[in-house]
Structure 1
């Protein structure tokens, strides 16, 4: 036994388990002080319950986990720490072949202050790494990878199997502006069709990646995923303002094959947090394949693109995002892992805009269970929609 009556992290009486409804509620109440943001604790718990009912997460799409101490397997169990996992549709591309797979996003890792420093979270994540490979396997087919987004840097999760991947972003300030005449504001009813088209485009582009020694993986930005973010957004807005945002994104162009669009989500942060209220671009879609690629932003390449049509179009979309951000008390608009065209568009709106490499928060991390090495993996479309 450890100090204060708590067990050693390697005790045989500790195991990972799916939380009961009562245990989940206990965890939500425990972590509310740190994660509720601008919401009162009671509203935060209601939000979490509401999010479990969404298309993405219902019917066991989201699973609550607890690491428990239970000396008697038929007796009561003590929660040491907890987390959650979300089932996600994903794609793997090798040698031009596309495979549909199930992945899992691990999130909400929390250990109450009185139990920290004893290695429980590390033990839980070690057990989670093993469990996620086979969790909810369909027809005996295991998951080839799981993901998470670390807010405690890169090392802790890397030691348990989740290696850090590029986690960059570019931001522009919130700013009330006139909506450009060329744009179409996207509403909830527009999203499902666009998500289906986006998935088709991703499949086409992944099928053309023919490198024999590289494996590309992508979380599918399907309607269930985007709608989950919007449900989270709507709940908080309704609590704060008594209304929900009607603008879910923006599109420029009306000719199929040459349109550009993006989806938004708004995040209000707690006053004590370092991060400001931020409107995040969940996903940027460029239909024209010749104008879209998976390459990260390069300042030199951005310079060459600054007067191009695609940059002007992305900038017009970002202008709408800036205006929406200002309308909802956001301080900035952020887009993850931008391309050179996106960087050029951001610079056209704010000359100081630059790519920032995140080192401590929202570090995209991936645990690879499949054939080959993690060094052979390219995580494409690694944008905010994949966050959980």
Structure 2
């Protein structure tokens, strides 16, 4: 399950003593349906945005059933009082019988027990790549964890529960030998940054659907230019072909970057680490499943036959596996998000003109797609500055969904956050 943000939203301070002492709390993974559904109900107060409970729960259950969430990849964690714990004396005196009390029972779905959930979050185990100048093994395949749906109910905030929850999660990931972890913060750079998730590059390019795109450079210099025809990426087989090739090229990119970093290492003895979240079909299918459910069940703004036939994964240059755009229809926040944008690099001025023409065709196709589905803009996280220049747009700095990344010390002891580079930091890695 992923919501609009991956943070514990700020709110007015809650007066009164803490229900439980921090030393009496533990972080537990759970598979109990009633407990998982209660975490969805809890975070509805921030993220439902008017969606009825039945539909909200329906979407989260639908996403939890996808391949991306299967085979133990998705874990729901709850911060709860450990066995034998009870509320603080100050809380008992202030609240009395009307408040929560007692310790949490792992398999108990009763209303009383569910009230003891003080916070919750989700993790997705995902494949990643790591290359380090210190190592001789080249690019390594590793396990990563992305973090989503971090939430403390408003009545339990401002007692340090969110901070403790993230600290305990970090310890869990250390014990599981996770290589690196990442999330997208809506609390600014400091809250998660102080806990190990260092904020990274956080920019975007916004293309309004009302914008008229510039003429391709080649059309200004040649008397006859063939229009660029793009094919839809409509089937899982087509998507698999693109993602497999993309993953191979990402690995090759890391190998090249690693060789360059080693050659430029100099005498400072600094260890540079380069990481990437490996593109995989299940992640793109998860985003598509979210779009499909929102379009067909929650918002119901489009005919079912249109949703079934026209809600595609993206577009590509016909026959190419290295020139494509994959996107996500975000009906909740009125965006068409670029999940993944790939173009072959140009090697000559003629190639540059052709590449620019394809980039403009991609941007036009995304703009048309957004407009067709009633979305007001195209959003491209960490898009290339050259694309923004080509479009006559500015690269903006985001203040929300700040990508934040951390290496785990059990796998990479003594690393320096400032020597860590996250490449391919695009929307496809968000969940």
1:88-167 aligned at under 5 Å gives the runs: 88-95=126-133, 97-135=138-176, 142-167=177-202
- 1:260 paired with 2:307, answer no
**Residues of 2 paired with 1:247 and 1:21: CA distance?**
32
8 Å CA contact 1:306, 1:341 repeated in 2: no
Match of 1:199 among 247, 251, 255: 247
**Residues of 1 paired with 2:210 and 2:235: CA distance?**
23
8 Å CA contact 1:65, 1:82 repeated in 2: yes
Residue equivalent to 2:25: 14
Change over 3 Å in CA distance of 1:226–1:38 after alignment to 2: farther
The Cα RMSD (Å) is 2.6
Where structure 1 has 5 or more consecutive residues not aligned to the other structure, the ranges are: 136-141, 270-275, 292-303
- 1:387 paired with 2:430, answer yes
**Residues of 1 paired with 2:161 and 2:39: CA distance?**
15
1:65-80 aligned at under 5 Å gives the runs: 65-72=77-84, 76=105, 78-80=116-118
Where structure 2 has 5 or more consecutive residues not aligned to the other structure, the ranges are: 1-14, 86-102, 106-112, 214-226, 263-270
**Residues of 2 paired with 1:188 and 1:89: CA distance?**
23
Question: Helix, strand or coil for the counterpart of 1:18?
Answer: strand
Match of 1:62 among 74, 82, 86: 74
**Residues of 2 paired with 1:377 and 1:305: CA distance?**
36
1:1-388 aligned at under 5 Å gives the runs: 3=16, 6-8=19-21, 10-11=22-23, 13-19=24-30, 20-37=32-49, 39-72=51-84, 76=105, 78-95=116-133, 97-135=138-176, 142-175=177-210, 181-189=228-236, 190-209=238-257, 210=259, 211-212=261-262, 213-239=271-297, 240=300, 241-243=302-304, 244=307, 245-254=310-319, 259-269=322-332, 276-288=333-345, 308-345=353-390, 347=391, 351=392, 353-359=393-399, 361-369=400-408, 370-371=412-413, 372-388=415-431
Q: TM-score normalized by structure 1?
A: 0.84
8 Å CA contact 2:244, 2:280 repeated in 1: yes
Structure with higher strand content = 1
Which runs of structure 1 show a deviation greater than 3 angstroms over 4 or more consecutive aligned residues? Answer: 2-5, 73-77, 175-178, 253-256, 287-291, 304-307
Superposition deviation, residue 60 in structure 1: 1.1
Superposition deviation, residue 250 in structure 1: 1.1
Superposition deviation, residue 307 in structure 1: 7.0
Residue equivalent to 1:139: none
Alignment deviations for residues 43-95 of structure 1 (CA, whole Å, 9 cap, x no partner) = 11111111111111112110000100134278635211110000110001234
Question: Helix, strand or coil for the counterpart of 1:354?
Answer: coil
8 Å CA contact 1:311, 1:344 repeated in 2: no
Change over 3 Å in CA distance of 1:199–1:75 after alignment to 2: closer
How many aligned positions are there?
352
Structure exhibiting the larger radius of gyration computed from Cα positions: 2
Change over 3 Å in CA distance of 1:289–1:21 after alignment to 2: farther
